[in-house]
A and B are shown apart, each in its own frame.
Chain A
Amino acid sequence: EIVLTQSPGTLSLSPGERATLSCRASQSVSRSYLAWYQQRPGQAPRLLMYGASSRATGIPDRFRGSGSGTDFTLTISRLEPEDFAMYYCQHFGSSPPMYTFGQGTKLEMK
């Protein structure tokens, strides 16, 4: 079973700054099955990226996903106030077939 470890646990930045969030898999995974979600307080999660680097519908281009193998990154180029939230990476593994989430990174306003 693949384990996803996100870092840092908490990231404190200011609006306008660049955020870099990491998701590391316990073994090499297909980038086709790596996704990122944003969850604002009191809201349901929202799909940001799928296939590691494809933006979901309506996601602004300041969000960028990258990576391969065991290391994946979500970059937010210029933080807006609405970007301060929890972020989760997710992977689908086929043996056994199951979805796994990372523990999350909290992006908080400094």
Chain B
Amino acid sequence: EVQLVESGGGLVQPGSSLRLSCAASGFTFDDYPMHWVRQVPGKGLEWVSSISRRTDSVGYADSVKGRFTISRDNAKNSLYLQLNNVTAEDTALYYCAKGLGNYWYGSDFDYWGLGTLVTVSS
């Protein structure tokens, strides 16, 4: 059974940093691209970032480019998202999702975790 468990969220001040983690199990982690998607409570879904299987290709939404960094450790079956210089607009539930295909581009999100909540407030 595919399982994705996010962690690392919390209450942080504007301008600060935090790192989100996603522990994956139930599938061969390094065979699939991975994604981060966020959702402001009560609002819609927003793609944040994606990473290829071998970390050689990544993509970011314009809203986070230059501030967030996606990475993965295939030996640990883990996905990460480093959030720097956060603002109130980054407040959201952050989901980790597994890619359906072989590449991060055009690879729909076939399994999702339950999310970790990031709240940015002073």
Interface residue ranges, A against B (CB under 8 Å): 32-33, 35, 37, 39, 44-47, 50, 56-57, 88, 90, 92, 94, 97-104
A contacts with B: majority SS: strand
Binds A, one of B17-25, B40-48, B67-75, B77-85: B40-48
Q: Point out the residues of chain A lying under 8 angstroms from B109, CB to CB.
A: 35, 37, 45, 47
Q: What is the chain A residue whose CB lies nearest that of B104?
A: A97
- Closest beta carbon of chain A to B26's beta carbon, Å: 13
Give Cα distance in the complex from A45 to B35, angstroms.
13
B100 located at the interface, meaning its Cβ lies under 8 Å from any Cβ of chain A in the complex = yes
Interchain Cβ contacts within 8 Å, total number: 57
Chain B 95-108 interface mask (CB, 8 Å, partner A; 1/0): 10000100001111
Interface positions, chain B 21-37, Cβ under 8 Å from A, are 35, 37
Indicate if B56 sits at the interface (CB-CB under 8 A). no
Question: Are B105 and A92 in contact, CB atoms less than 8 angstroms apart?
Answer: yes
Q: How far is the CA of A25 from the CA of B113 in the complex (A)?
A: 28
Q: Are B108 and A44 in contact (CB under 8 A)?
A: no
**A97 and B105 form a contact (CB under 8 A):** yes
Q: Is the CB of B61 within 8 A of A98?
A: yes
B interface residues, tally (CB under 8 Å):
23
- Among A45, A46, A56, A57: residue with most chain B CB under 10 A: A45
List 4 tightest A-B contacts by C-beta distance, closest first: A99-B47, A44-B112, A35-B108, A101-B45
If A33-B106, A88-B45 touch, does A50 touch B113 (CB 8 Å cutoff)? no
CB distance from A8 to the nearest CB of B (A): 15
Distance (whole angstroms) from the CB of A107 to the closest CB of chain B: 15
- Nearest CB in chain A to that of B115: its residue: A44
